[in-house]
């Protein structure tokens, strides 16, 4: 059986699944119940000066009958005092010494203030510190959170202050609300960070009430932009994790965050360079017990692939992530319809005809269904028909042997005449 134990920046945990700093880690009771359920670690809900929060706090985007595909929040850091939080961290570590407990911290940008909170957090027994440089609302207006994470110089300076006092590993949590997240990651590394975690939440307004014209979630008829998370943000998070993992100037451990709901999601983060993952929205939706499926699924997958540990997954896909101009322009696929599985809905024809490349033929039937077929000489292999088809495995993409060598945009741009045939979209 594969070994799921984790060693992240020197911090040990029974498995690489940690709870992210959020409502599920707001109290010691919650964290202990999570550990009993099987979670390997927890990043405490961000500790700082006592905060007064608003009501209401959350809104969501639902898609196709699926609730909370995206979750928006305007909640700030913990509204419980540092004294209470640090006392509970001490109790949790006493009862669960083998689990990872990370103190998430956010205070005003003063050297002595950071030194003080670091010493108190480490004095409580926390295994490590996560610096919240990502909160996009409320705190950033006060010169904290994303206001720090969006300016590499601030990220570097405050990390340096923390490292002056810290004796445990320091993780810098990065904001996605920035043009290029690698600059912030490099700044964290320059400041002495032992690891980074990403992504924090994305600036968002999830919707407007069309009757009272208030954004959601409504607070006395008004609202604010909030932080967006959940399954909808996973593609953005994967891209940013890969960008940081591939950057030669960073090269420190990564804890992946953003839309992780299943073991497959977690495996994708590992393959793109993360060595632990943090989960929030899925727990807010379904509870701590999802850890059972996360652990079993990953363990079975590793066994099937013949991998001894999660470390065997970390970064294996990075070599397959490249720049567009390095892709093979002579690689060709076309769509293929399994007529035995086709239900004649005609959706692929409509999508291709109106939204893509007019590469599907169609003929109405007497029973109201539609016969469809691929116009192979017109198909550009865009995948749209296979994506909209409601029947699994009905439309697949098959490779066409062109007999031509690999040619990239770099090759073409050097000698356009030599590769003139590439200008034909159906080459």
Q: Which residues are catalytic?
A: 135
Q: Give me the DSSP letters along 81-134.
A: -HHHHHHHHHHHHHH-TTSEEEEEE---S-HHHHHHHHHHHHHTT-SEEEEE--
Which residues make Cβ contacts (< 8 Å) with residue 335, sequence separation at least 6? Answer: 359, 360, 374, 379, 381, 383, 385, 386, 395, 396, 397, 398
Distance, in Å, from the CA atom of 198 to the CA atom of 134, rounded to the nearest integer, reads: 9
Question: In the 8-state DSSP scheme, what is residue 46?
Answer: P
Contact in structure between 225 and 204 (CB atoms under 8 Å): yes
Structure tokens at 315: 């970064």
Rounded CA-CA distance 167/221 in Å is 47
| Of 249, 299, 250, 257, the residue nearest 274 (C-alpha) | 257
Compute the radius of gyration of the chain from its Cα atoms.
Answer: 25
> b or e along 41-77 (b: 16 or more beta carbons within 10 Å of the residue's beta carbon)?
bbbbbbbbeeeeeeeeebbbbeeeeeebbbbbbbbbb
Dihedral sign from CA coordinates of 271, 273, 276, 277: negative
Distance between CA atoms of residues 324 and 155, nearest Å: 30
Query: Which residues fall within 8 angstroms of residue 241, CB to CB, at 6 or more apart?
Result: 198, 199, 254, 256, 258, 269, 272, 273, 274
Q: How far apart are the C-alpha atoms of 141 and 135, rounded to whole Å?
A: 10
What 3-state class would DSSP assign to 15?
coil
Q: Find the length of the chain.
A: 427
Alpha-helix runs per DSSP H in 3-61: 28-37
């Amino acid at each position: 059986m594969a070994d799921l134990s984790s060693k992240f920046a020197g911090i040990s945990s029974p498995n690489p699944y940690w709870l992210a700093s959020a409502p599920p880690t707001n109290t010691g009771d919650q964290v202990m119940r999570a550990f009993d359920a099987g979670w390997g670690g927890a990043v405490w809900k961000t500790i700082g000066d006592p905060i007064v929060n608003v009501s209401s706090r959350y809104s969501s985007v639902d898609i196709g009958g699926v609730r909370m595909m995206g979750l928006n929040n305007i909640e700030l850091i913990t509204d419980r005092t540092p004294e209470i939080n640090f006392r509970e961290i001490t109790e949790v570590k006493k009862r669960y010494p083998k689990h990872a407990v990370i103190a998430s911290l956010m205070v005003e940008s003063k050297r002595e203030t950071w030194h003080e909170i670091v010493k108190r957090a480490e004095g409580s027994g926390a295994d490590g510190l996560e610096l919240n440089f990502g909160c996009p609302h409320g705190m950033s207006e006060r010169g904290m959170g994303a206001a720090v994470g969006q300016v590499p110089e601030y990220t570097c300076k405050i990390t340096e202050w923390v490292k002056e006092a810290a004796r445990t590993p320091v993780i810098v949590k990065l904001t996605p609300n920035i043009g290029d997240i690698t600059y912030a990651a490099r700044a964290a590394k320059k400041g002495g960070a032992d690891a980074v975690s990403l992504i924090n939440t994305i600036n968002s307004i999830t919707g407007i009430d069309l009757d009272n014209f208030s954004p959601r979630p409504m607070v006395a008829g008004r609202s604010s932009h909030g932080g967006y998370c959940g399954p909808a943000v996973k593609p953005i998070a994967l891209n940013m994790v890969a960008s940081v993992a591939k950057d030669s100037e960073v090269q420190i451990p990564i804890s992946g965050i953003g839309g992780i709901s299943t073991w497959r999601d977690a495996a994708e983060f590992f393959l793109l360079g993360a060595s632990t993952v943090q989960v929030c929205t899925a727990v807010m939706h379904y509870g701590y017990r999802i850890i059972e499926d996360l652990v079993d699924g990953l363990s079975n997958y590793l066994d099937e692939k013949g991998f001894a540990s999660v470390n065997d997954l970390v970064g294996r896909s990075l070599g397959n992530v490249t720049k567009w101009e390095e892709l093979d322009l002579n690689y060709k696929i076309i769509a293929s319809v399994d007529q035995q599985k086709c239900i004649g809905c005609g959706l692929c024809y409509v999508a291709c005809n109106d939204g893509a490349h007019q590469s599907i033929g169609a003929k109405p039937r007497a029973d109201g269904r539609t016969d469809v077929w691929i116009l192979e000489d017109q198909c550009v292999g865009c995948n749209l028909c296979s994506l909209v088809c409601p029947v699994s495995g009905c439309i697949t993409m098959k490779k066409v042997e062109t007999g031509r060598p690999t040619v990239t945009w770099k090759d073409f741009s050097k000698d356009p005449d030599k590769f003139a045939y590439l200008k034909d979209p159906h080459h």
